[in-house]
Amino acid sequence: MHNGRACKNGYWGGDLKMYSMLKRVIFFILLAGLWELLFWLGIWPEYVLPSPVSVGKTLVRGFQDQSLLIGVAISMKRIAIGYGISLGVGVFVGLLIGRFRIFEDTLGSLISGLQTLPTICWLPLSLLWFGLNDNAIIFLVFMGAVLSIATGTDSGVKNVPPLYIRAAKTMGAKKWKLYLEVIIPAAFPHIVIGMKQGWSFAWRSLMAGELLIVCLGLGHLLMLGRELNDMSQVIAVMLVIILIGILVDRLFFMKIERHIRERWGLVKS
Amino acid sequence: MSESVGVDDLIELDYRKTDKGQEISETNSAKPDLCIQHVSKSFQSKNGSVYVLEDINLEINQGEFVCLVGPSGCGKTTLMNIVAGLEKADSGEVWVNGRRILGAGPDRVVIFQEAALFPWLNVIKNVEFGLKLKGVSSSKRRTIALEYLKMVHLTKFQKSHIHELSGGMKQRVAIARALAMNPGMLLMDEPFSALDAQTRWILHYELQNIWMKTKKTILFVTHNIREAVCLADRIFILSTSPGKIKKEFSIDLPRPRDDNDVNVAEYSTRIMKELKAEIDKVVKCEMDADSCVECDIKCTTVEPVKTDIGGGI
C-alpha cells in the first residue's frame, strides 16, 4: 500500500502529470494557431470570425475596465442565490420523497413530469410573477437545479443500506438526528451527483435567462456583443463562461468526488 | 500519553451521568437484567401465518454471557431484534433493567453480522458516533473513544478509513463503538460468522477478555455451537418452526476458553446431539421428501457415534 502511494505522488507520478499538462498546452496552442490561420486566409469577414488576438485584447480590455468582472460578479451572485435555495429545497424534497411513500406517489411523480420541461419554458411565468428583474432569473436558476438535486437525493436515500439505519437506531439516533447524522451522509455520494447535474442545468438556465432578459450579467454582455456586431466580445464572453464552468467543476465538484472516493474506498483503477 | 491518567475518571463520570438505570441495578443485582415474557411472533406467508417464535420466556442476569443457538430460520435473529426494539412482538413483553422495551435504545447496542460501520466517518469518529448523539462534548468523546479503541487494540488505525480495515478489524471497531456508549447490555447477532476461522478464534479470545473487564450483559446469537460453548455462561437451544426454547445448558468452564479445548469440544458434542433433531427438521423442510441426502446424513452420523461410545467405555 505504501509503495503504491509513493509511486502515485512520487517522481514518476509528477512526471506523468507534467507530461499530460504539456500535451494539453500544445493542443490548445495548435488550436489557436489554426484559428489564426483561418482568420489570415480571410474566408470570412472579421465581424463573423475575429482573430484570436483581438479576442484576447477584448478580454484584457474587459478586465481592465471591469465590465467583464462586473458581469461575472452579477452572474455569480444570481447563481449563488438560486443554486443555494435549490440546494436546500432539493435536498429537503428529495428526503421526503425518498423516505415517505405518500410523497413519492405525489411529489415524486410531479417532479419526474416537470423534469421533461426545459427550464427556459419557465421564463414567461417567471416574468409574470417576478417582473423584469433579478428575481425572475434567480427563479429560473432555482428551477434548473432543484429537480436534479431532489431526484439525486431521492435515489441516495433509497440506496442507504437499511443496516446503517438499524445500527444508528440502536445507538439512539432518532428523528432529525437520524437524518442529519446517518441518512444524509449515507446518501451524500448520490446527492453530489444530483448537485453536479443541477449545477450544469442552473448554469445553462442562467445564461438563457440573461440572454433573454436585459439586465446585466454575462449573458447580457454576450447579447450586447451581438447587437454591436462585436464578435470578439461574444467569443471573449463565451470563453469566460467556459472558464467559470471548468473552475467550478475542478475546484468544487472534483474535490468533493475525490474526497468521497477516498473515504468510501471507491477508487477508480 | 499523559492524558490516560484522567481517562478512567472521565468514563466513570460519564457512566453515572448518562446511565442512571445502571446505578439502580447495581444495588439490587439479584434482579434479572433482561426478562423476556411470553413473546410470540408470526409472519404472514403464502401458506398462511408462520409462527417464528412461540411463547418465549427467558431471564438473563446482570453481567451474564448468554448464547442463543439454533438452526437457520429458527427465529433467533427475530428474537434479538425484538429485544433490540427493532421489531415488535405480536404478544408478550420484554423488560430490560426494570423498564419495558418499546423501541430501540442506546442501553442495548446491537453488533451486527456485517459491522455496519459508517464509511463516511473514519475509525475514531465511528467509535464516537453514539457519544455524539448523546451530546457528549468533543474532547470528552475523543478520550472515551480512544480508551475503547485501546481495548480492542486498534489505536494505530484510529484515523483509517473503514474500507481500509479487514473484516476482523471492522468487528473490533464495532465492538468498541458499542462499548463506548456504555450500554448495560450488548446484543450480538452472529457477529463473527462472516470471518475466517483464525480471526474468529482471536476475536473469541478478545471478546472474553473484554467481557471479563467490563462485565456487560451479553446476548449472543450464533448457529455455531463451538462458538457458543467457548463464550457463554448459559446456552439456550431454540427449536425451529415454531421457535421455542428447547433446552438450556450451563457451561461451567474456566475462562478464557479456547475453541480447541477438550472440554469445549466435549460440551459441543453433547449440545450438537440436542440440536441434531432440529437440524433434521430443517433439512426435511428445505429438501424434497424423497431426498437421499437426508438419510445419508442420518446413516453416517448416527451410526459411528454409537459404536465409538461403546468402544471408549
Instruction: State how far the alpha carbon of B155 is from the alpha carbons of A54, B9, B111, B169, in Å.
Output: 62, 20, 20, 11
Measured between CB atoms, which of B119, B133, B161 is closest to A171?
Answer: B133
Range from A135-144, A172-181, B29-38 carrying the lowest mean pLDDT:
B29-38
Residues A93 and A224 in one domain: yes
Q: How many domains does chain B have?
A: 1
B254's CB contacts (< 8 A; 6+ apart) are none
- Which domain, by its residues, includes A245? 51-264
Q: How many domains does chain A have?
A: 2
Residues of A contacting chain B (CB within 8 angstroms):
163-164, 166-173, 177, 181-182, 185-186, 188, 262-265
Q: Please check whether residue B187 touches A, CB under 8 A.
A: yes
Mean pLDDT, chain A, integer = 89
Measured between CB atoms, which of B110, B120, B121 is closest to A170?
Answer: B110
CB B128 within 8 Å of CB B142: yes
pLDDT digits (tens, 9 = 90+) for A70-95: 999 999 999 999 999 999 999 999 99
Q: Tell me the average pLDDT across B155-174.
A: 93
Whether residue A251 has pLDDT greater than 70: yes
Q: What CATH number does residue B280 fall under?
A: 3.40.50.300
pLDDT bin (cut points 50, 70, 90) of residue B7 is very low
In a domain, A269, yes or no: no
Q: What is the DSSP letter of A180?
A: I
Residues A130 and A73 in one domain: yes
Whether residue B297 has pLDDT greater than 90: no
CB B79 within 8 Å of CB B67: no
Measured between CB atoms, which of B112, B132, B134 is closest to A167?
Answer: B112
Task: Give me the pLDDT at residue A11, please.
Answer: 55
Choose the mutation target among A2, A163, A170, A258 for the interface with B, i.e. most B CBs under 10 Å. A170
Instruction: State how far the alpha carbon of B250 is from the alpha carbons of B247, B254, B274, in Å.
Output: 10, 13, 14
CA–CA dist B138, B143 (Å, integer): 9
Interchain proximity A163–B86, CB inside 8 Å: no
| Min Cα–Cα distance to chain A from B210, Å | 20
Residue B55: CB atoms within 10 A of its CB come to 15
Which amino acid is located at B289 in the chain? A
pLDDT bin (cut points 50, 70, 90) of residue B43 is confident
Whether residue A5 has pLDDT greater than 70: no
Task: Give me the pLDDT at residue B289, please.
Answer: 60
* Number of Cβ pairs < 8 A linking chain A and chain B: 67
Whether residue B242 has pLDDT greater than 50: yes
Instruction: Please name the helix (run of DSSP H) or strand (run of DSSP E) that holds residue B57, with its range, or none.
Output: strand B48-61
Residues A144 and A184 in one domain: yes
Residues A229 and A109 in one domain: yes
In a domain, A129, yes or no: yes
Q: Tell me the average pLDDT across A255-262.
A: 91
Task: Give me the pLDDT at residue B25, please.
Answer: 39
Task: Give me the pLDDT at residue B291, please.
Answer: 54
In a domain, A194, yes or no: yes
Whole-prediction pTM: 0.79
Residues A61 and A16 in one domain: no
Interchain proximity B119–A169, CB inside 8 Å: no
Q: Tell me the average pLDDT across A184-198.
A: 95
Residue A210 has which C-alpha cell? 440573461
Residue B195 has which C-alpha cell? 470471518
Mean pLDDT, chain B, integer = 80
Range from B29-38, B128-137, B264-273 carrying the lowest mean pLDDT:
B29-38
- Which domain, by its residues, includes B221? 4-312
Task: Give me the pLDDT at residue A123, please.
Answer: 92
Residues A137 and A215 in one domain: yes
Residue A258 has which C-alpha cell? 475525490
pLDDT bin (cut points 50, 70, 90) of residue B31 is low
Q: What CATH number does residue A79 fall under?
A: 1.10.3720.10
pLDDT digits (tens, 9 = 90+) for A14-43: 678 888 899 999 999 999 999 999 999 988
pLDDT bin (cut points 50, 70, 90) of residue A149 is very high
pLDDT bin (cut points 50, 70, 90) of residue B288 is low
ipTM associated with this complex: 0.79
Whether residue B300 has pLDDT greater than 70: no
Instruction: Pinpoint the alpha helices (H) of chain A.
Output: 2-9, 11-41, 52-64, 67-99, 101-103, 109-114, 123-130, 134-158, 162-170, 175-178, 184-212, 217-227, 231-248, 254-264
Cis peptide before B119 (omega within 30 of 0): no
Residues A155 and A244 in one domain: yes
Whether residue B307 has pLDDT greater than 60: no
In a domain, A134, yes or no: yes
Residues A38 and A90 in one domain: no
Range from B203-217, B237-251, B299-313 carrying the lowest mean pLDDT:
B299-313
CB B143 within 8 Å of CB B7: yes
Cβ-Cβ contacts under 8 Å, A264 against chain B:
119-120, 161, 163
Residues A108 and A203 in one domain: yes
Interchain proximity B119–A177, CB inside 8 Å: no
Whether residue B16 has pLDDT greater than 90: no
Residue B92 has which C-alpha cell? 408478550
CA–CA dist A210, A82 (Å, integer): 14
Q: Tell me the average pLDDT across B23-35.
A: 55
